A and B are shown apart, each in its own frame.
Chain A
């Protein structure tokens, strides 16, 4: 079985999308062939399309952008729709992570992927909306199934089992297992550190432009 893991983050490295795909890879085991496809820009290469067409299932992983799919990935989806072999019975899965705490906020982005499947004839087979994606990079070294990422890992494990069985599952919505108020505080502290590192002041975060 050949499975394409498609990183749809605009970030070339250190993205939450890639962390989630790495976790999934661990649960998929060694009896499958993984094909990594990196979609960081609005144009997908002919070589990547050809490689994708030789796989049995695709897993998209991307961040939630303004309640939907990032613009560059949307552009790639349109290209893929134009290039795909209609009704090829390929199974499509999606993992959408959001900076907000609630994974359910990724619901519409997953629906957009599902609607794309209806246009291409591919089989939407389930996805995960991950909340608290902004914190994943800080806990990526923890053992799978432990700590604040445990609930996310369980959802990923369930998705992996579905992929291996060519199954269709309901979308799952999970959040980082970390109190919401602490997540909010940590994020806000992070913004203040970032703007200071960039030579600015904390109060500039609220700057209003004329």
Chain B
């Protein structure tokens, strides 16, 4: 299953195969740092606003595709809030991978990550940061990196098939 996380409300980009799209549908609450998703309702965020099950969805996917406006090399606040609230994809416990501390796996699936980032004036340094960010995400999810793609505007995504 492909999991698409996007900040585009009227998302209409075609997606091949089995997929789920998480997009803005009503207000989202931001992560409050309570760790309830690890130690109260393991696997699920405690804030019940319709965006609480991304960690579980990530456990079922083979590809995680982010489609977002690029802000300073990061994804947009909406996409980031979704990611922040999905840390329960991993287990709370730590492991050491490649000499660095990360979280242990909760699920067995290997996720391949890609980002499609749009924005009028994405600078070279922001593009470098965005790639580093995706690689770091992949390291923390114990997954793989596909690539980061950049577009001048949402309209430029018109020819893309995910």
B70 closest partner in A (C-beta): A115
Whether a CB of chain B sits under 8 angstroms from the CB of A74 is: yes
| Contact yes or no, A100 B133, CB < 8 A | no
| Contact yes or no, B132 A191, CB < 8 A | no
A205 to chain B, nearest CB (A): 6
| Contact yes or no, B77 A72, CB < 8 A | yes
Which of A108, A116, A204, A210 has the most CB atoms of chain B within a 10 A radius of its CB?
A108
Whether a CB of chain B sits under 8 angstroms from the CB of A138 is: no
A21 to chain B, nearest CB (A): 16
| Contact yes or no, A191 B39, CB < 8 A | yes
Q: 1/0 per position for B24-48, CB-CB distance to A under 8 A? A: 0000001111011011101110000
A119 closest partner in B (C-beta): B72
How many residues does chain A have at the interface if contact means C-beta atoms less than 8 Å apart? 47
| Contact yes or no, A191 B92, CB < 8 A | yes
A105 to B94, CA, bound (A): 14
A206 to B75, CA, bound (A): 29
Decide: A78 near B33, CB < 8 A? Known: A67-B137, A72-B77, A191-B93. no
A102 to B100, CA, bound (A): 7
Interface size class of B (residues with CB under 8 A): 35 or more
A74 to chain B, nearest CB (A): 5
| Contact yes or no, A74 B136, CB < 8 A | no
Whether a CB of chain B sits under 8 angstroms from the CB of A194 is: yes
A66 to B123, CA, bound (A): 22
A 161-210 contacts with B by CB, 8 A: 180, 184, 187-188, 191, 194-195, 198, 200, 204-210
Q: Which of A8-16, A23-31, A86-94 faces chain B?
A: A8-16
A194 to B46, CA, bound (A): 15
| Contact yes or no, A100 B80, CB < 8 A | no
Decide: A206 near B42, CB < 8 A? Known: A66-B84, A105-B100. yes
Decide: A102 near B132, CB < 8 A? Known: A69-B80, A71-B84, A208-B59. no
A75 contacts across to B, CB distance below 8 A? 30, 77
B74 contacts across to A, CB distance below 8 A? 68-69, 74, 112
Q: Which 8 pairs, one residue from A and one from B, show the smallest C-beta to C-beta distance?
A: A71-B81, A71-B80, A115-B72, A75-B77, A67-B136, A72-B30, A194-B39, A209-B56
9 residue pairs bridging A and B, Cβ less than 8 Å apart: A66-B80, A66-B83, A67-B136, A70-B80, A100-B101, A101-B101, A115-B123, A115-B125, A118-B123
